[in-house]
Amino acid sequence: MDIATNNNQIIKLESIDSTNNYANKLIKEQRVKSGTVIWANEQYKGRGIRNNQWDSETGKSLTFSIILYPDFINIDDHFLISKFVSLALTDFLEKENVEATIKWPNDIYVGDKKIAGILIENTIMKSKIATSVIGIGININQQKFNENLPNPVSLTQITGKAYDIEEILHKILYHINYWYNEIKSATWDDIFTWYLEKLYNLNYKSKFKVGDKYMYGKVIGVTKIGHLILEIDDGKIMTFSYKEIEYA
């Protein structure tokens, strides 16, 4: 892999509340180059989806956001961003000899454990995605995690190796740049097929939480707008947005 092919502008911060917050503020003030990265050694108020927090150990995990202007993507196709970033992360892990899957809507899993999360925040202009801040948190060298996290895992726990965080950042950027180009050239149906091949628990029954109730459903796919498609016990097909349902 040729690290020199990346020409992302990288803004390295020692400590920040959230790299997504920093990136969101930055793009309000100026139009930075597409692919600009905000990378923080320490993130003290990292955010996840559904108002969750993202905890990371200073210097031991990788927390960064990348700024893109994917104005060729319609709002209805916004989930394409989640797809290509997830594929980039699973490709990166594969290159490190770690087989990973994409747990809908935005987690990267190794077996039944979460190694990375993605938080995408877009702005819209005339029904297109004007700006996209893609925040990625990936557990790299941590050995210990906060006790209230259900099932975290780090790369080092899987492989037994210690990693250089900056080198990992460059490797991940290589895959993100590659997949971002792919969505400009490959057909989106192909992207969707590749995404489904990596989808966690595809064709398996899982337990879900909907409001304060629990239910089972077989994961059979994801719609174009990113809703999870489940087959319920009576054969009924239902779709859910990430605000309506979560894995239990």
Residues that bind ligand BTN (CB under 6 A): 18-20, 43, 46-49, 52, 54, 63-65, 106-107, 117-119, 135-137
Shortest spacing between CB 147 and ligand BTN, in angstroms: 17
Shortest spacing between CB 2 and ligand BTN, in angstroms: 25
Residue placing its CB nearer to ligand BTN in the complex, 73 or 136: 136
Residue placing its CB nearer to ligand BTN in the complex, 35 or 135: 135
Q: Which residue is nearest to ligand BTN (CB)?
A: 117
Task: Give the bridge partners for 235, in sequence order.
Answer: none
Residue placing its CB nearer to ligand BTN in the complex, 28 or 236: 28
User: Quick one: residue 94, left, alpha or beta (phi over 0 = left, psi -120 to 50 = alpha)?
Assistant: alpha
Shortest spacing between CB 150 and ligand BTN, in angstroms: 11
CB contact set of 31 (below 8 Å; sequence gap of 6+): none
Tokens 């210690």 belong to residue = 162
Angle 141-145-151 (CA atoms, 0-180°, nearest 5)? 105
Count other C-beta atoms under 10 Å from residue 48's C-beta.
16
Shortest spacing between CB 235 and ligand BTN, in angstroms: 32
Q: Could you give the residue ranges of the DSSP H alpha helices within 74-198?
A: 79-95, 155-159, 165-185, 188-197
